[in-house]
Amino acid sequence: MSLDQANAFRDYVSQNEDVQKEIRSALMTESARVSEIAAKHGFTFTSEEGQQAWDAAQDNELSDFELDMVSGGNARTGGS
């Protein structure tokens, strides 16, 4: 398990809209954890490490997807 993997997955998600949709869907149905989705894409980390990566990201600039998740998961469409 690795915090580095959790951070790498965060970067991967920021560039992959299909995975973003998968995470949104999982969070809406509560049917899967983010670490399980990450494992399907080759990233291995615990839920705790994922939370640590998320918490550390809060101190830095969040991606549009992460901002969307913080704001309640409403889909954002282009432009600011």
Nearest one of 5, 38, 4 to 20, comparing CA atoms: 38
* Per-domain residue ranges of the chain: 3-70
pLDDT tens profile 38-47: 888 999 988 7
Residue 69: its pLDDT value, please? Answer: 74
Residue 29: its pLDDT value, please? Answer: 63
Most confident of 3-12, 19-28, 33-42: 3-12
Distance CA 57, CA 21 (A): 20
pLDDT tens profile 45-70: 887 888 788 777 767 777 777 777 76
Average pLDDT score over residue span 22-42? 78
